Chain A
């Protein structure tokens, strides 16, 4: 199985910062990488697919990028509503595997 190592596990950021969350794949995944936001008691919501494409209705302050086998989710000037847990998912090979999650708190 492909391992997705996600970091950091948690972070606290101000509304003026740029927030970056990373996922490193244990092998190449050909940009079959998506990002999700989950709020307490809710289902995950798609933010980014194909590593860099913004899902419908997602604010442009969210963006995705890749460097080698490391994928990043960036939130520019986050809003309070961006608090939650963020997960990456690789769908290159079966079984699809998620990162362990990053809990984001905005202060």
Chain B
């Protein structure tokens, strides 16, 4: 069965960076886009960007240009997101989600989420 297993919670200092992971299993990792979504406490969902692990192509929400960097390691079927120059506005839960396709596109499987807390 498809599973997306994310890394554990992070407590990081303002101005630093953090790299979180999303390990995929149960499907061909290189055949599906992996997306990342942000959810601030009590808030809705915001799309960050996607990576296609097959060739490393990426696309970002303009709002996250320079903030988020997406990479993928085909050998371990793991997608990564690095967040840089962290501020309190980056404190949130971050999800990875696989993009499914039928006639349209949708997120058919999600990781459990990683809570990132930015605090001195």
| Closest chain A residue to B49, Cβ basis | A95
- Is A10 positioned at the interface, with any CB of B under 8 Å from its CB? no
Given contacts A87-B44, A91-B105, contact A45 B100 (CB under 8 A): no
Tell me the complex Cα distance, A55–B110, Å.
14
How many chain A residues touch B (CB < 8 A): the figure is: 28
Residues B107 and A89 in contact, CB atoms below 8 Å apart = yes
- Is A31 positioned at the interface, with any CB of B under 8 Å from its CB? yes
Instruction: Determine how close the nearest CB of chain A comes to the CB of B58; give it in whole angstroms.
Output: 12
Residues B102 and A46 in contact, CB atoms below 8 Å apart = no
Q: Which residue from A33, A44, A49, A100 sits with its C-beta under 8 Å from B100?
A: A49
Residues A49 and B111 in contact, CB atoms below 8 Å apart = no
Instruction: Determine how close the nearest CB of chain B comes to the CB of A27; give it in whole angstroms.
Output: 15
Tell me the complex Cα distance, A15–B62, Å.
43
- Chain A residues contacting B62 (CB-CB under 8 Å) are 95
* Main SS at interface, chain A: loop
Task: Tell me which residues from 1 to 52 in chain B have a Cβ below 8 Å from any Cβ of chain A.
Answer: 35, 44-47
Tell me the complex Cα distance, A14–B104, Å.
33
Given contacts A36-B107, A55-B108, A95-B61, contact A44 B45 (CB under 8 A): yes
Given contacts A43-B95, A99-B44, A100-B44, contact A91 B106 (CB under 8 A): yes
Tell me the complex Cα distance, A96–B109, Å.
16
- Chain B residues contacting A44 (CB-CB under 8 Å) are 45, 95, 107, 110
Task: Tell me which residues from 49 to 89 in chain B have a Cβ below 8 Å from any Cβ of chain A.
Answer: 59, 61-62
5 A-B pairs whose Cβ atoms sit less than 8 Å apart in the complex: A31-B104, A43-B111, A49-B102, A89-B45, A101-B44
Question: Which residues of A line the B interface, CB within 8 A?
Answer: 30-34, 36, 42-46, 49-51, 53, 55, 87, 89, 91-92, 94-101
